[in-house]
Chain A
Amino acid sequence: MISLISIVFIVMGLAFIGGLALMCFTKAFGVVFLGNPRHTFHHEVKEVSGFQLAPLYAIAALIIIIGLFPKLFLDLLIKPVQLFTGLQQLPFVAFQGNGLEVLVSVSHASWYLIGLVLILLGLRKWLLRNRTITVMPTWGCGYTAPTAKIQYTASSFVKTYSKLFGMFFLIFKKEKEVQGIFPTDAHLETRPYDKIEKWLIDYPTVNFKLFLDRFRFFQNGKLQFYILYGIIFIILIISIPLLYDKAIQFIEFLKQL
């Protein structure tokens, strides 16, 4: 019965992961890279040189290739795995089993998707080659005064979600309210912080550091003390086994009495 309920929670958790990943990545990518610049910098903003970008592109290309040709990657991977786990009875045929054969079908389906996207993009280019394409300010339902400030920020993008799951978050708010009949300026800044991270990671880390701070007198920067620690260590290393043997002999002697 308990295992059943836990299975249900596991399934719901796994299903939520996909949706949360969608929300997280659209928020991060959309707020940082898309739309109008939300923050004006005082220096000129330009992209770094191609040599700095090339390794990033190489890593991204490798990830995509592993996704599209998983069997190739698994064939390469089997040799080190055999070395470490001693699966000598596995021939040079790669992994078998239900889960990994699914990867092959998924990559076939991904090829269909990529092929279809390329065909449609080509069709679109061909259809639009003789038609007028104009570039105008964003229509946005006829809004006449767009600025960069009306765009969604990260906090506002997930506002509904953080209100629903508010018990897991701490929201820090810095606010200067609108005052008077002719207000001059106002601003609002919210930062969320994960409560679980605060209680499970931050608090133990801080308390552990406080405990270790009591022993900080060992590190006082004077060379003489460090040489003294070395001498004490050598004395202990030599004398403790000797003393241990002597103590064992004494106990044997006492046992004989």
Chain B
Amino acid sequence: MLSFLLIILAAAFFTGIIIRTKSIASGRKGPGLFQPIKDVVRLFKKGAVYSETSSFVFRIAPTIYFSSVFVAMLVVPFGQSKWLISFNGDFIFFAYVLGLGKFFSIIGAMDTGSSFEGMGASREALYSMFAEPAFFILMGSLALLTGHTSFQEIFATLHLGSSITYALGGLAALVFLMIAMIENSRMPLDDPKTHLELTMVHEVMILDNSGFDLGLILTAGYLKFAIYGAIIFNLFSGTISYEYAIPMFFVMQAFLAFVVGMIESFMARFRMNHNAQFIVVLSSVSLLIFFGALLVSGKFI
């Protein structure tokens, strides 16, 4: 229950902090911290416009996407406590329930019969295909380090003691952050502000959604960021007691949002052809972490 509430609370201000950081870094004052929530509430109050080419798939796809992100949220633990879904191998379930949501958002985009959404669908399918090995190898190396295969057990028994494990933890946090950027389609892979055809990946898939559906999609995006922030927090905080862990959680989420905002302000988007290379580089970093885990657990050298 605790992780669920904390992630929802963090999702409320995560994107607001990113937008505020970007505004202040470019010299503006920027919107308030809860502006994204107000946008979503405004969208929930509107009617909808549907394309005449689209079928029932387009109408149910945002709902299934949001539900998959919500169910993925139920898997993530907080420190020692788990909630509704926790079993051996649940990180595989986590990755693939998010994949189910992605599948529905992709076919919802293909349903509109427009070349823009097809382009976004094609790119999104490719990038998520490359980002999966990075996630699995990383979780596999964490499972190897701790000997357990469930999120909650891995994070509860992960002790960062020696300098090698601190380095591994730092690298793992970096890889998770990059995976979060890929999944949420932020820089340096995709610019969420641009609406130019050559440069969109995720924004272009949701061009035709409006009203309640768009509100669901935006909320799912905010929740995904907070989920990955919670995973990164769990990497470092397995054994801290609750009265310190809860404030640290919010501090770390705010810090991550600040870092994401800084990356977005000072880095341009990669060339579209180099995006795939970048994601494969992430898999190589995960492999490095895997070998480091083998080193630490004594199975190598």
Contact = CB atoms under 8 A, between A and B. Distances in A.
Interface string B23-67: 000000000000000000000101111111111010010011011
A150 B114 contact: yes
A106 B50 contact: no
- Interface of A, secondary structure class, is helix
Interface stretch (A22-30, A62-70, A71-79): A22-30
Given A128-B47, A141-B197, A151 B114 contact: yes
Nearest to A157: B122
Contact of A143 (B116, B276, B283, B294): B116
Interface string B135-158: 111001000000000000000000
A14 B137 CA distance: 10
A184 interface: no
A16 B132 contact: yes
A109 B93 CA distance: 9
A8 B284 CA distance: 11
Interface in B105-142: 106-107, 110-119, 121-123, 125-126, 128-133, 135-137, 140
B85 interface: yes
A2 to B, nearest CB: 13
B164 interface: no
B47 A132 contact: yes
Interface string B79-100: 0000011011110010111011
Contact of B137 (A15, A36, A124): A15
A177 B287 CA distance: 46
- Please classify how large the interface on chain A is, using the bins under 10, 10 to 19, 20 to 34, 35 or more: 35 or more
Contacts of B99: 18, 22
Nearest to B68: A113
B207 interface: yes
Interface of A: 4, 8, 11-12, 14-16, 18-20, 22-23, 25-27, 29-31, 34-36, 98, 101-102, 105-106, 108-109, 112-113, 116-117, 120-121, 124, 127-128, 131-141, 143, 146, 148, 150-152, 156-161, 164
Interface of B: 44, 46-55, 57, 60, 63-64, 66-68, 70-71, 74-75, 84-85, 87-90, 93, 95-97, 99-100, 102-103, 106-107, 110-119, 121-123, 125-126, 128-133, 135-137, 140, 195, 197, 204, 207-208, 211-212, 216, 276, 283, 287, 290, 294, 299-300
30 contacts: A4-B300, A11-B133, A15-B133, A15-B135, A16-B133, A23-B129, A34-B55, A35-B113, A36-B113, A109-B74, A112-B71, A116-B71, A117-B60, A117-B63, A121-B63, A124-B212, A128-B212, A134-B47, A134-B48, A138-B51, A138-B54, A139-B49, A140-B114, A141-B116, A143-B115, A148-B113, A151-B113, A156-B118, A156-B122, A161-B126
